[in-house]
Structure 1
Amino acid sequence: MATQAIVAMEQQNFLVPNGTFFVELFAFAIMVWILAKFVIPPINKAMTARQEAIRQQFADLDQAKSEAHEAEEEFRAQIADARHEAARIREEAREQGAGIIAELREQAQAEAQRIVEHAHAQIEADRKAAVVSLRNEVGSLATSLAGRIVGEALEDEARQGRVVDRFLEELDQTAGAS
């Protein structure tokens, strides 16, 4: 039994490779070969594609950023142009307003001048009517006064006209002398 124990111990020595070890080693090698041939290449391909997609997304993001900056600059330029255009339109409106005001002022002055001339003409017509009315009134008063002074009636129209004309001439002479 001692020899059997030694033989059994020799068989149980873990440092000595046995048949199962080689089978396990062969199975492991087949598994590594299957993984290396069929599993790892698609994983590497997917990882490479993902890295490329990420790189492309970063490139697209940089391009979108530059386009956004260009669009922002264009927008700012358009706003500046719009402000300049608005300022120009305001200035034109001011000039047109000043022209309209000047034109209306001229029209108002012309209308005022026309009204003043019309008023002067009306005043002159009223003055002439008043002079005629006063001449008639003064003439009749002068005739009746002269008739009372003279003591006879001055009923004759021709005589009455001469007396009135003479009286008015004397009035005009005294008014011109003073």
Structure 2
Amino acid sequence: MTTDVVRAAEDLNPLIPHVSEIIIGLIVFALLFFLVAKFVAPNFEKAYADRTKAIEGGISAAETKQAEADARLAELEKQLADARHEAARIREEAREQGAQIVAEMREQAQRESDRIKENGKATIEAERQQAVTSLRAEVGALATSLAGRIVGESLEDDARANRVVERFLEDLEDLESSQGAAGRGNSGAV
């Protein structure tokens, strides 16, 4: 009995499979391998290829968008630089125009000043001539009266009176000019 039990125990050893189980396991494994290789693996390969294409397409689209963005950025930077140059040119033109306007205003002010000076000089000269004429008439009348008293005869004759007055005024002017020349000579010597 013991041998039967040992034999029976050897037959039922769970660690050692039976040959029929090994054959059935190999057939099922081969069938399962065939099915996975025929149906499942191609679907995985197709999904992997589609995903790879999508990723590569996304990358290329992103690279294209990046290139477009870089080109747009470069264009905007160029436009900004052009705008800065234009603004600098406009500022320079405004500065030049301002300088030109200031120069024109100075020139106009100088012309106006010269005109006012000339008008003033002309007015002063006219008033001086009027004063000289008035003084000559008064001096002439006084000189005629004085000369008449000194000479003792009347100098009522206009022609004679005018000659006497003219001679008196010429002598007076000669006296003033000789004194002025002597004064200038003395001031130069000091």
With the length of structure 2 as denominator, give the TM-score of the two structures: 0.63
Give the match for residue 120 of structure 1: 121
Give the match for residue 135 of structure 1: 136
Q: Secondary structure at the match of 1:159?
A: coil
The Cα RMSD (Å) is: 3.9
Please tell me whether the aligned partners of residues 143 and 160 of structure 1 are also in contact (alpha carbons under 8 angstroms).
Answer: no
Within-5 A mapping of 1:1-178: 1-2=1-2, 4-13=4-13, 14-17=16-19, 22=24, 44-146=45-147, 148-149=149-150, 159=156, 161=158, 165-174=162-171, 175=173, 178=177
Aligned AA for 2:71? E
1:81 and 1:116 map into 2 onto residues whose CA distance is: 51
1:122-147 Cα offsets, whole Å, 9 max, x none, are 01111122112212332343344345
Q: Report deviation, 1:59.
A: 1.5
Give the match for residue 181 of structure 2: none
Higher relative contact order (CA 8 A, sep 6+): 1
Aligned AA for 2:4? Q
Q: Compared with structure 1, are the counterparts of its residues 135 and 172 closer, same or farther at alpha carbon in structure 2 (3 Å cutoff)? A: closer
With the length of structure 1 as denominator, give the TM-score of the two structures: 0.66
1:18-40 Cα offsets, whole Å, 9 max, x none, are 66994x77777787677667766
Q: Compared with structure 1, are the counterparts of its residues 18 and 6 closer, same or farther at alpha carbon in structure 2 (3 Å cutoff)? A: farther
Please tell me whether the aligned partners of residues 143 and 163 of structure 1 are also in contact (alpha carbons under 8 angstroms).
Answer: no
Please tell me whether the aligned partners of residues 143 and 164 of structure 1 are also in contact (alpha carbons under 8 angstroms).
Answer: yes
Q: Secondary structure at the match of 1:15?
A: coil
Q: Compared with structure 1, are the counterparts of its residues 105 and 19 closer, same or farther at alpha carbon in structure 2 (3 Å cutoff)? A: closer
Q: Compared with structure 1, are the counterparts of its residues 58 and 51 closer, same or farther at alpha carbon in structure 2 (3 Å cutoff)? A: same
**Amino-acid identity (%):** 47
Please tell me whether the aligned partners of residues 144 and 164 of structure 2 are also in contact (alpha carbons under 8 angstroms).
Answer: no
Q: Which runs of 5+ in 2 are unaligned?
A: 178-190
1:161 and 1:35 map into 2 onto residues whose CA distance is: 155
